[in-house]
Amino acid sequence: MKHPELSIRRQSNLLSLNRSSLYTKRQPENPVNLALMRRMDELYTDMPFYGVRKMTEHLRSEGYSVNHKRVRRLMRLMGIEAIYPKPNSSRRNSRHPVYPYLLNHLAITRPNQAWAADITYVPMERGFVYLVAIIDWHSRYVLSWRVSNTLDTGFCLEALEEALVKYGSPEIFNTDQGCQFTSQAWTERLKAEGVQISMRCPPLGRPEMGLIKL
């Protein structure tokens, strides 16, 4: 969209495009930040209760030259946050309904009784991706998975569709309260299959992902 004379707004008007629908292509993180994110991911795996302040202190103790602002930005980019009790955490997105947790004290005795999905950050040699995986709670079998470089709902829906086509519908589907799983597109798809929606109250961490082996 670069032009020596026409602004982006003018080009949008000429093409009858909504200016708000145009986005700048995301620039890749520099190698220093990628190395830092890899170390942060390792620390978070061992100490998921680390918030920005503790993460910054630990990194500084290891010789990294970082401040709170930089650590906060990278943690948000990675999609991680400290696991600790938070007031009114269930009201973080008033536009999306939150469903009750249905698996408490429920004996999972057969396949397709309950499925679960979760998203995790995966460091790569030259960047990172987000991985969503859907598992059967009884067998711990990975039913489907997708990767994406953005935390949108689309790649989660693709994984859901594949699992439904291959294995039918579960009785219960459990997730956290992330915006991908509270979105209308996700919940309405489950309702269309007659699936009961279960959501664990944050911040209980990511127990399903710890059992996934790809």
End-to-end CA distance of the chain: 40
Weakest-pLDDT range from 8-12, 68-72, 196-200: 8-12
> Per-residue confidence at 204, pLDDT binned at 50, 70, 90?
very low
Q: Where would I find the H helices in 47-202?
A: 52-61, 68-78, 154-167, 179-182, 184-192
pLDDT at 210: 36
Pick the residue with more confidence: 177 or 7? 177
- Cα-only R_g, the chain: 20
What is the average pLDDT score of the chain?
80
- Give the mean model confidence (pLDDT) for residues 76-102: 66
Q: Is the peptide bond before 28 cis (omega within 30 degrees of 0)?
A: no
CATH 3.30.420.10 range(s) for the chain read 89-211
Residue among 207, 214, 204, 210 at smallest CA distance from 82: 204
CA atoms within 13 Å, Cβ hemisphere of 171: 12
Q: Which two tokens stand for residue 130?
A: 């987000």
Predicted confidence (pLDDT) at residue 206 exceeds the cutoff of 60: no
Contacts 24+ apart (CB under 8 A), 105-108: 108/137, 108/138
pLDDT tens column, 129-141? 889 999 999 999 9
- With contact defined as beta carbons under 8 Å apart, do 153 and 186 qualify? yes
Residue 181 backbone dihedrals phi, psi, to 5 degrees: -95, -15
62-88 exposure pattern, b = at least 16 Cβ within 10 A, e = fewer: eebebeeebbbebbeebebbbbeeeee
What global pTM score does this model have?
Answer: 0.60
Q: Which of 83-87, 109-113, 125-129 has the highest mean pLDDT?
A: 109-113
pLDDT band for position 16 (50/70/90)?
A: low
The whole-number pLDDT of residue 27 equals 62
Pick the CATH number of 89-211 from 3.40.50.2000, 2.60.120.430, 1.10.3720.10, 3.30.420.10: 3.30.420.10
pLDDT tens digit sequence for 90-99? 334 456 688 9
Q: 165: pLDDT confidence band, cut at 50, 70 and 90?
A: very high
Determine the average pLDDT of the residues in 132-153: 93
Is the pLDDT at 164 greater than 50? The verdict is: yes
What residue type is 160 in one-letter code? L
